[in-house]
Amino acid sequence: MNKTIAIGVDVGGSHVSCAAFDLAEKKYLENTLAESDLDNHASSEVIIGVWGDTIKKTMELAGVENVEGIGFAMPGPFNYEKGISLFTGQNGKYENTYGLDVPVELLSLR
C-alpha cells in the first residue's frame, strides 16, 4: 500500500492540534482534524499522553496504514534536530518536559 499521508502537529501553549495532508494530491484532508486542550504545567507523562492521543486520533481518521510521516510545529526552546525539549520554565510552559526525548516518548505510547 502507498503511504501518501503526512500528519501535521501544532503544539501550542495550551493545546495540540493535528490534521492530515495528502502528499500525492497536495491537499488537506477534511475530517482529520483532532484537537486537545492541555495543562502545560502537567507532568511530562500527561503532556506526552495528550500529544500522543491527539496524533493517534488524526492517524485513525486518515488511515494509519497510509501515514508516511509526522511533522511538528513546536515552540522553543527546543533541540529540533534531536527532538529534545529544552523548556526550563522561562516561557512559563512545559518545564516538566525538560530534557525529554519527544520522539522516543511518543513511540513508547504505541
- Buried b vs exposed e over 36-69: b needs ≥16 C-beta within 10 Å? eebebeeebeebbbbbbebbbbbbebbeeebbee
pLDDT digits (tens, 9 = 90+) for 95-107: 999 999 999 999 8
Reading the block at residue 23, the C-alpha cell is 502528499
What is the pLDDT, as a whole number, of residue 88? 87
Residues making up the chain, counted from first to last: 110
Return d(Cα 93, Cα 41) in angstroms, integer. Answer: 6
Domain ranges across the chain: 5-107
Q: Which three cell numbers stand for residue 52?
A: 500522543
CATH no., domain 5-107: 3.30.420.40
**For 6-31, how does the pLDDT look when each residue is reduced to its tens digit (9 = 90+)?**
999 999 989 999 999 999 999 999 99
Q: Which tens digit of pLDDT belongs to each residue from 63-97?
A: 888 888 999 998 889 999 999 999 987 778 899 99
Position 2 pLDDT exceeds 90:
no
